[in-house]
Amino acid sequence: MTSLLGVVASASAADSRQHINASGYDIYYGLVPAQVATQHPQSHEERTMHGGRLPARDGYHLLIALFDSGGARVTQAEIRATVAELGMAGTSKVLEPMQIDGTTSFGGYFVLSGEGPYRIDVQARVPDRAAPVEAVFEFKRR
């Protein structure tokens, strides 16, 4: 079973749909149906993340991985994501730090009930940096 981290880790720099370099930081995202988390054993880390509650129908888990200009994973940051169907008001959340297989990413659940496409605005506040690192992704359900 592929973990959510594996989804982000498999996105290569050449895949511009899941990667953006902004202000010298590499930002990767993965968006997976929340039902994937229910397929893990009860003891798996993904089952208890974000309060252990899965969103209702049309729930998706957004995962963000952030790397500095030297390629080191950023583990201390406040990351806010806003997910909205194009032309509609969105939902904004501070993503929670997550530990999976000894690596840190940031994630949260969002409901994507429309047909899409969706806009994902990411704002990362990194220690010792005055301005946030910002990226915008577009997501289309297949």
Note the pLDDT of residue 35. Answer: 79
CA-closest candidate to residue 40, choices 72, 5, 64, 73: 5
Q: Locate the domains of the chain by residue range.
A: 4-139
What pTM does this model have?
A: 0.80
Instruction: Assign domain 4-139 to a CATH class.
Output: mainly beta
Query: Of how many residues is the chain composed?
Result: 142
The pair phi, psi for residue 26, each rounded to 5°, is -95, 125
Note the pLDDT of residue 13. Answer: 41
The residue to which tokens 């915008």 are assigned: 136
Predicted confidence pLDDT, tens digits, the chain (142 residues): 334 334 343 333 445 689 999 999 999 999 988 877 666 566 555 555 655 566 667 889 899 999 999 999 999 999 999 999 999 999 999 999 998 888 999 999 999 988 889 999 999 999 989 999 999 999 997 7
In three-state secondary structure terms, 110 is: strand
